[in-house]
Structure 1
Amino acid sequence: MNHLGTLVSRLPIRRRCLPSNSPTFALNRLARTFSSTPFASKAGKPQKDRFNYNPEIFFDEAPDPEHAAYTRVTSNDLERHTKPPTRVKMLVRDFIEDSLYNPHYGYFPQQATIFTSAGDPIDFRAMRDSVEFQNEVARRYSAYGTDEEGPGRQIWHTPTELFKPYYGQAIAQCLVSEYLLKYFPYEDLVIYEIGAGNGTLAMDILDFIRSAYPEVYERTHYNIVEISGRLAKLQEELLVPRHGCVSISHKSIFHWDRPEPAPCFFLAMEVIDNFAHDMIRYDYRSLEPYQALITVNASGDYGIYYTRVTDPLIASFLNLRRRLGHAPPLPSILKSPSVRSIYNHLPFAPNLSTPEYIPTRMLSLLRTLRNHFPRHRLLLSDFSSLPDAIPGVNAPVVQARVRGSAVACSTLFVRPGLFDIFFPTQFSRLRDMYEHVLAQPSADDDRLPIAPSPLASSASPLSIGAGFFSSFQPQNRRTPADGVASASGLPVGERKSNVFTHAVFMETYADLESTCLRNGENPLVDYYKNVKFLF
């Protein structure tokens, strides 16, 4: 298989196989790796070597005096900075968010370019086989040229662009099918999309609805939440003249403060892989988690140290994981205190677990959905696994495009803005988290009324008891919201979400005849094996 074929089938959005003469040295000149200083004493001097230690960390009991004096910052604090800061410390998620989204030097506002082929969409039915299809994609990709020095334009492509308009039409068919079944003609079709890129997915969805379901299109409202000012402008120029139902909000979804009481669909397509994660490690002596903080000295070099968990979001995630019964990535044998005691006396045994990257920003999104979109239906798609990740549990891929090839790094701590940082998603755990968070009372219940369904009676069935009609609550249904009835008029609750492979989702909703090659292969189904859907 050629390099492009590996790109599509293994890591379809951002990876190419590395040629034997790849310019890794150019990438290494740009990557500033973290320092590896021994444990520091309170006097700031290294302690003597010992058998059991991790050389690059120190604990909060004995911090380096210089690092302890650094200002603690967040990604919100750094939005005003026009260049990467020095003499600061921050959580790992703030470092990632600043690297990816800082408006002045972040990867997405300044570097990333979404692949959009010029001319007509690919005519799949005219292609002989997958080799000819891959060559056609390579031909269109080569139009962007090759950068001679350093990291050039960070070009990556999505299934939306590669399979347009058929991928967007499959998403539209999914949404419309659910809308017609549950809400039409009593409610409008309200769609929210975060991270809409060039606006191609929104265009394909709206074009399809207008053509295939004109009566639904008349009641459609499409809302985009976009953190990048550059992309928000592109979306407005592309969509608004053609579809007057489009509204674009230039802001982060994590800063969203406007309630949406009506039923709506919420799209997050190829977005959450770039959500910031935090890093934790467990002390093998006590099994206590420690949160990682990154330090940046006056020269711009990075250090890392660990403290007991004090961040509320990290603590909330770990508490939620315990309630759901999701075990931390620790050897089960170490649960025994006697075994831990023996282990900790073994020569050269590490005293901290392997770094684990936890999706704290994903938890923030779920809370936003619960608080501000109480009647939403989430449709989410992203990577379920990734090759070439840095060391660690649930670790990201860190890479940049150098001279036309994507080169992966071995560390997270690289120069902000020049490198893509993207994570896999554990979909089964995400589904458990999502359903649990939605089942909790909203923090905004007192000020966010839920719009009652036109099907509901004036007296809420739940006000006279959830078991008035039946004492049985199906396991695949959420607890019904008071005052909101289903199409049958009974308070049975919304259907819980499920996880689907990319192939199963496309086989359910896509027009597969239009993407079938002459030899019977279908790249829309056959590729993206490492992508899943939550719906």
Structure 2
Amino acid sequence: MRVQRFLRSAITLHSPNSLGRVAPPGGSGVMAVNTAPRVLSSTFGEGERSLMALANSEEEKRVARQAKLFEDLLVFEGGAVADHDSLGSRMILREFLHFCMYHRKWGYYPKLYRKYRELMTTGYFDPIPFGSLRSQHDYELYVGKLHETTPGFVTPTQVFQPFYGWVLAEYMLGVMRAKFDPSEPLVVYDVGAGTGALANNVLDFLAEHYPEVYEKTEYHVIEMNPMLITPLRNRLVHHYHHTKIHNMSFLNWRQHDPRRCFVIGLELLSGMPHDSVVWSADGTCSEQWFDFIQPDNLSSCIERFHNIKDPMILRYLRYLGWLQEESFHALKVLCVTGGRENIDPGRWSSWEPNMHDPLHLIMTKMMNIHNPFRTAWIPTASMVMFEMMAEYLPRHHSFFADWSRVQAGLGGFNGPLVQSKMRLAKDFYVRRASETLNSNAGMVDICFPTDFDHLQDVYRKICGDHKEIVNMTHPEFWRTFGGDKTSLFMAKSGYNPITEDFKLFQVFSTHHPAER
């Protein structure tokens, strides 16, 4: 229809009856007749041929746009994960997880920082005296005491501070020498900065050892927990000329920055909301939702499974290659058939058990829903972050470090670890794991493992093949870039936790190629 309207309007403009009509000098809408001679028919024939060529090229562009639109499947629908003011009556899993962990009133992290404000904002503890530890046994006892006396969960950046920030600063300087123009500043986006320990260590190191780089440094601290904004300002006050603090979700970043920059996320991917996909033996694929019997009541949530239709889930599956479609055929079948891979009717009228089903069918459905071999947890929020980075930070260099596997996780591919800390005495906390996702929603921490091979495929599909990707374990990163600072963590017996432990901790870094 668009091409037909385009042809009709174009032929009207070039028709012999319209060639003599021009607008009057006064600019009114009344058309006047021009007394100029008509254009020769040969000229009109050439114009018609060029017009048809233009129409054909526009038709090709339209077909390409339609194919891209169907391929992207409404890229901007669903957008970023929002901070809901109300639960409402139903939520998809990623929104439910975002609500449980980050909501300003009921979320796990804001509540934790409100309850233990002093303990959670003072940096937890002083640097560990590795040189005075005798062996691995002493190190494990020391770290165990830290876990027992801290209401939150201790991260590797806190265990190895301030040296972790020093090595990361030297790593960024090495990338700048290889990729940046000498006149370009150092621009850093620290996502999920927490209490600002890493940002403070990086900026202190630059100010002391590389003052010429520090003078041109622009450090953006992005933290969505409102309880941490004041501690961040207090900790980074002596770097206020080079620091900008943003109280927002990085998924909602909409400021375009064409400069080269670093995006840093340490233990960020494990805390980002995921979705859950379940498929049955007949090829029916479903997505997980939560319905609420009482609105805004987390304890009344019920798991529901609906045919897969969410655009963000379908987009992730296409990026990953789980939907290997030619001419988008498989994706069309999924949309038309309500989540089934073929047009044959499903074995069951509904994926979930209902009161009219016989007992054996109810048991079969329950076994399929909770079967760990038919459940996958997919990082849709991480995908949205990559899409945002590709659009608004096109020349970014990224550094993500996170867990590749977790112990005692829920069933399924990349199942999360659901855990909390209980206070048994004044300064004594013990860790407790949960076997269900929604039993204590808003009261537990949820840590997802990251499949870095899948993450690399998704990142390359979104950000392009021109990006250089380095995927290595945490000990390999420190052996490569740590240098002499690696020996700072060695005990008297020769045991070094940063190279011998943290084998499940992995580093994912990407680089924008240097312009010639």
Is the CA contact 2:275–2:378 (under 8 Å) kept in the aligned structure 1? Answer: yes
- Cα distance in 2 for partners of 1:314, 1:514 equals 44
TM-score using structure 1 length: 0.67
Is the CA contact 1:116–1:157 (under 8 Å) kept in the aligned structure 2? Answer: no
Greater mean alpha carbon deviation, residues 237-246 or residues 520-529: 237-246
2:218 is matched with which residue? Answer: 221
Count of aligned pairs between the two proteins: 386
**Equivalences for residues 504-515 of structure 1 within 5 A:** 504-510=476-482, 511-515=485-489
- Cα distance in 2 for partners of 1:233, 1:419 equals 24
- Cα distance in 2 for partners of 1:407, 1:140 equals 16
2:432 is matched with which residue? Answer: 407
- Cα distance in 2 for partners of 1:90, 1:119 equals 39
Residue 373 of structure 1 pairs with residue 347 of structure 2: no
1:102 is matched with which residue? Answer: 103
> Which of residues 272, 275, 284 in structure 1 aligns to 2:272?
275
User: How far 1:175 sits from its partner (Å)?
Assistant: 0.8
The residue identity in structure 1 corresponding to 2:472 is: F
2:241 is matched with which residue? Answer: 244
Say which SS state the counterpart of residue 234 (structure 1) adopts: helix
> Which of residues 80, 85, 90 in structure 1 aligns to 2:85?
80
2:91 is matched with which residue? Answer: 90
Pair 374,77 (structure 1): closer, same or farther in 2 beyond 3 Å: closer
Say which SS state the counterpart of residue 95 (structure 2) adopts: helix
Return the structure number with greater helix share. Answer: 2
**Equivalences for residues 460-479 of structure 1 within 5 A:** 478-479=465-466
1:126 is matched with which residue? Answer: 132
Residue 361 of structure 1 pairs with residue 381 of structure 2: yes
- Cα distance in 1 for partners of 2:419, 2:89 equals 24
Say which SS state the counterpart of residue 366 (structure 1) adopts: helix
- Cα distance in 2 for partners of 1:101, 1:94 equals 10
1:259 is matched with which residue? Answer: 256
Is the CA contact 1:291–1:307 (under 8 Å) kept in the aligned structure 2? Answer: yes
The residue identity in structure 2 corresponding to 1:412 is: L
**Equivalences for residues 33-112 of structure 1 within 5 A:** 79-81=84-86, 85=87, 88-111=89-112
Greater mean alpha carbon deviation, residues 412-421 or residues 220-229: 412-421
Greater mean alpha carbon deviation, residues 236-245 or residues 166-175: 236-245
Say which SS state the counterpart of residue 183 (structure 2) adopts: coil
The residue identity in structure 2 corresponding to 1:519 is: S
Is the CA contact 1:74–1:91 (under 8 Å) kept in the aligned structure 2? Answer: no
> Which of residues 483, 503, 508 in structure 2 aligns to 1:529?
503
Say which SS state the counterpart of residue 238 (structure 2) adopts: coil
Is the CA contact 2:131–2:489 (under 8 Å) kept in the aligned structure 1? Answer: yes
Is the CA contact 1:224–1:247 (under 8 Å) kept in the aligned structure 2? Answer: yes
Is the CA contact 2:83–2:99 (under 8 Å) kept in the aligned structure 1? Answer: yes
1:390 is matched with which residue? Answer: 410
Is the CA contact 2:190–2:221 (under 8 Å) kept in the aligned structure 1? Answer: yes
- Cα distance in 2 for partners of 1:118, 1:381 equals 21
The residue identity in structure 2 corresponding to 1:283 is: S
User: How far 1:436 sits from its partner (Å)?
Assistant: 1.2
Is the CA contact 1:75–1:95 (under 8 Å) kept in the aligned structure 2? Answer: no
- Cα distance in 2 for partners of 1:75, 1:164 equals 32
Is the CA contact 2:123–2:195 (under 8 Å) kept in the aligned structure 1? Answer: no
Specify the structure having the higher radius of gyration (Cα). 2
1:284 is matched with which residue? Answer: 281
> Which of residues 146, 170, 174 in structure 2 aligns to 1:173?
170
Residue 428 of structure 1 pairs with residue 453 of structure 2: yes
Is the CA contact 1:227–1:250 (under 8 Å) kept in the aligned structure 2? Answer: yes
Residue 319 of structure 1 pairs with residue 318 of structure 2: yes
User: How far 1:337 sits from its partner (Å)?
Assistant: 12
Is the CA contact 1:116–1:161 (under 8 Å) kept in the aligned structure 2? Answer: no
Query: Identity of counterpart residues, as a percentage?
Result: 26
> Which of residues 471, 481, 502 in structure 1 aligns to 2:474?
502
The residue identity in structure 2 corresponding to 1:530 is: L
The residue identity in structure 1 corresponding to 2:285 is: P
Pair 432,380 (structure 1): closer, same or farther in 2 beyond 3 Å: same
Is the CA contact 1:274–1:422 (under 8 Å) kept in the aligned structure 2? Answer: yes
Query: Where does structure 2 lack aligned partners over 5 or more consecutive residues?
Result: 1-77, 326-340, 348-359, 510-516
Is the CA contact 2:107–2:442 (under 8 Å) kept in the aligned structure 1? Answer: yes
User: How far 1:361 sits from its partner (Å)?
Assistant: 0.6
User: How far 1:79 sits from its partner (Å)?
Assistant: 3.0
Say which SS state the counterpart of residue 321 (structure 2) adopts: helix
User: How far 1:117 sits from its partner (Å)?
Assistant: 6.0
2:444 is matched with which residue? Answer: 419
Q: What does the per-residue CA deviation read over 1:398-424, in whole Å, with 9 as the maximum and x for residues that have no partner?
A: 111123211111111123321001100
Q: What does the per-residue CA deviation read over 1:172-209, in whole Å, with 9 as the maximum and x for residues that have no partner?
A: 11111101222152211111110001100011111112
1:296 is matched with which residue? Answer: 292
TM-score using structure 2 length: 0.69
Say which SS state the counterpart of residue 241 (structure 2) adopts: coil
Pair 435,324 (structure 1): closer, same or farther in 2 beyond 3 Å: farther
- Cα distance in 1 for partners of 2:79, 2:320 equals 24
- Cα distance in 1 for partners of 2:154, 2:490 equals 20
Is the CA contact 2:320–2:457 (under 8 Å) kept in the aligned structure 1? Answer: no
Is the CA contact 2:80–2:252 (under 8 Å) kept in the aligned structure 1? Answer: no
Pair 202,74 (structure 1): closer, same or farther in 2 beyond 3 Å: closer
The RMSD of aligned alpha carbons is 3.1
Residue 306 of structure 1 pairs with residue 305 of structure 2: yes
Pair 130,371 (structure 1): closer, same or farther in 2 beyond 3 Å: same
User: How far 1:289 sits from its partner (Å)?
Assistant: 1.5
Say which SS state the counterpart of residue 506 (structure 2) adopts: strand
Is the CA contact 1:386–1:423 (under 8 Å) kept in the aligned structure 2? Answer: yes
Pair 355,178 (structure 1): closer, same or farther in 2 beyond 3 Å: same
The residue identity in structure 1 corresponding to 2:500 is: D
Is the CA contact 2:121–2:228 (under 8 Å) kept in the aligned structure 1? Answer: no
The residue identity in structure 1 corresponding to 2:385 is: L
Pair 189,242 (structure 1): closer, same or farther in 2 beyond 3 Å: closer
**Equivalences for residues 477-488 of structure 1 within 5 A:** 478-479=465-466
2:59 is matched with which residue? Answer: none
